[in-house]
Amino acid sequence: MDERIGFISHKGKSILWIDLSHTSKAELLILIGQVQQTMAAQPRNSLLVLADFNEAQIDKEVATELKRVLVLDRPYVKKAAWLGTASMPHVFYENFKSFSQRDFPTFETREEGLEWLVEE
């Protein structure tokens, strides 16, 4: 697994950390595929996910692939939070939520996202 995708622990809970920050289109397409494989190997409705999109180079092709994977991953995710959406075109963010029928609360810092994920 790429060092950008892996499990971290916060307050005794396992969180899937997905670091897509500062990535090119080509890197994003590879990482999105790795994310999908990682999630599909987990029990259904088990994942707490924190994804960082700061300065990720999201274009229409990347957005289309990300939408596809967000739908496939939905059964595995209990809760997800995103960082860095300010650098993402707002229309893409709204489209991701609408297409996947999921909500992705956004946070300014990793710590804020982690705290929200572990709240009951």
- On the CB side of 94, CA atoms within 13 Å amount to 3
Domains and CATH numbers, the chain: 5-118 (3.30.750.24)
- Res 2: pLDDT: 58
**Residue 36 CA: distances (Å) to CA of 11, 76, 84:** 25, 10, 20
Q: What is the pLDDT of residue 1?
A: 43
Q: What pLDDT does 87 receive? A: 85
pLDDT at 3: 87
Give the residue ranges of the chain where pLDDT is below 70: 1-2
Exposed/middle/buried for 95, CB within 10 Å: 0-12, 13-18, 19+?
middle
